[in-house]
Copies of this chain bind each other. A is one copy, B any other.
Amino acid sequence: MRIFLVGFGVVGRSLAQLLLDNHRALYDTSALSPRLVGVVDRGGAAVSEYGLDATDLLAAKDESGTVAGVPVHGVTGVDAEQLIADSDADVVVEAAPSRIDAPAGAMNNIKTAFRTGKHVISVNKAPLAVAMPALLELADYNGVQFRYSGTVGGGTPMLALAQECARGDEVVRIRAILNGTTNFILSRMHELKSGFDSALAEAIDLGYAETDPSADIDGIDAATKVVILANLILGRRATLSDVAVEGIRGLATERIADAERGGNVLKLIGEIGDSLSVSPQMVPAGSPLDVPANLNAITLTLRSSGDVTLIGRGAGGVETATAVLRDMLDIWRTVGEIA
């Protein structure tokens, strides 16, 4: 299986390492032999139809900050879309950072892949947030697969669980904690009685939050995941504009105290029911959605089987890379004829 990888940040590098470490095991258990035939990052690209050496890619990134530093195969001044179009890859992995305010680059990469007959695995949420229904149709029209397990829950298979629950039962409602940074901040405000600003500063210190944490604390990151769940699990045709979003920026400590007085904790909840929303809500202390630190959790309410809750880390490079690997295995299983 020939892979073209867009983005060589934390997830991209973890994926290269994961494929390197598991090359033999993947072949033995699944007859899958993934080969990186192209990698593009902000500084350039490395391309080889015979396959790039992951060790070379990681070394070049470490030394020169870009895969363009790979001997022989490195190139600069390239256009990602053109490279995708020209590549003989079977699968394009879109792993550039999710820029919800600027989804065009990733969107064009994905469309180009579809148009030139390539399956796509995206861990970039931006194109899904703004145009998921259209992208699903476009993949279908071009007869290729579009997978995005890593966009919700990182390595915790939230989408797969939700799909499994939807078979043989009906998902009537979803409530979920879909952003680890805000869960960490709210947990700190409860535990240490920290104010919002100091809890946020701690999250940034620990590397849980970006230096510009807007997408997290304004609820946008969680809202993109609400969109993905609503489309995939409940068959909605939703985009980000359909989600009523209230974040936790500047949340008053009184709201924390209010929640505690009623035996509750305040959580940033993404909700998919009659309507779609992200907002701070009270949940009973000790209930399944009361997860600590930067964990994520999803509760699916099923018509026959009641509430089912999955808890796990919601992000991380190697975690998200395992989700990409599951998507590869799914594509491989259904289109086994790929070389």
A residues at B contact (CB < 8 Å): 18, 154-157, 160-161, 164-165, 167-169, 286-288, 290-292, 302, 304-313, 316, 318-319, 321-323, 325-326, 329
B168, B308, B319, B329: the one contacting A329 at CB < 8 Å is B168
User: Across the interface, do B323 and A168 meet the contact criterion of CB distance under 8 Å?
Assistant: yes
Top-6 shortest CB links A-B: A155-B305, A168-B325, A168-B326, A308-B312, A309-B311, A305-B319
Known contacts: A309-B310, A311-B309. The answer to whether A304 contacts B18 by CB under 8 A is yes
User: Across the interface, do B288 and A291 meet the contact criterion of CB distance under 8 Å?
Assistant: yes
Number of copies: 2
Bound form: Cα–Cα A313–B301 in Å? 11
| Secondary structure class of chain A's binding surface, majority of residues | mixed
Closest chain B residue, CB of each to CB of A306: B313
Q: How far is the CB of A34 from chain B (nearest CB, A)?
A: 12
> Which residues of B are found within 8 Å of A18, using beta-carbon distances?
304
Closest chain B residue, CB of each to CB of A324: B168
User: Can you list 15 residue pairs at the A/B interface with Cβ under 8 Å?
Assistant: A155-B304, A155-B308, A156-B308, A157-B308, A161-B161, A164-B326, A168-B325, A168-B329, A286-B286, A304-B322, A305-B313, A306-B319, A308-B310, A308-B311, A309-B311
Known contacts: A168-B323, A325-B168. The answer to whether A311 contacts B311 by CB under 8 A is yes
Residue of A302, A312, A319, A329 with most chain B CB atoms under a 10 A cut-off: A312
User: Across the interface, do B168 and A160 meet the contact criterion of CB distance under 8 Å?
Assistant: no
Q: How far is the CB of A19 from chain B (nearest CB, A)?
A: 11
Residue of A292, A304, A306 with most chain B CB atoms under a 10 A cut-off: A304
> Which residues of B are found within 8 Å of A161, using beta-carbon distances?
157, 160-161, 164, 310
Known contacts: A157-B161, A167-B326, A322-B168. The answer to whether A316 contacts B312 by CB under 8 A is no
Q: How far is the CB of A332 from chain B (nearest CB, A)?
A: 11
Q: How far is the CB of A32 from chain B (nearest CB, A)?
A: 11
Bound form: Cα–Cα A322–B316 in Å? 34
Q: How far is the CB of A295 from chain B (nearest CB, A)?
A: 8
Q: How far is the CB of A165 from chain B (nearest CB, A)?
A: 6
Q: How far is the CB of A260 from chain B (nearest CB, A)?
A: 14
Bound form: Cα–Cα A155–B325 in Å? 27
Known contacts: A160-B164, A309-B310, A310-B161. The answer to whether A318 contacts B291 by CB under 8 A is no
Q: How far is the CB of A112 from chain B (nearest CB, A)?
A: 26
Q: How far is the CB of A159 from chain B (nearest CB, A)?
A: 10
Bound form: Cα–Cα A305–B310 in Å? 14
Closest chain B residue, CB of each to CB of A308: B312
Q: How far is the CB of A211 from chain B (nearest CB, A)?
A: 25
Closest chain B residue, CB of each to CB of A169: B322
Q: How far is the CB of A302 from chain B (nearest CB, A)?
A: 7
> Which residues of B are found within 8 Å of A167, using beta-carbon distances?
325-326, 329
Residue of A169, A302, A321 with most chain B CB atoms under a 10 A cut-off: A169
Q: How far is the CB of A284 from chain B (nearest CB, A)?
A: 10
> Which residues of B are found within 8 Å of A290, using beta-carbon distances?
286
> Which residues of B are found within 8 Å of A329, using beta-carbon distances?
167-168
Bound form: Cα–Cα A291–B154 in Å? 24
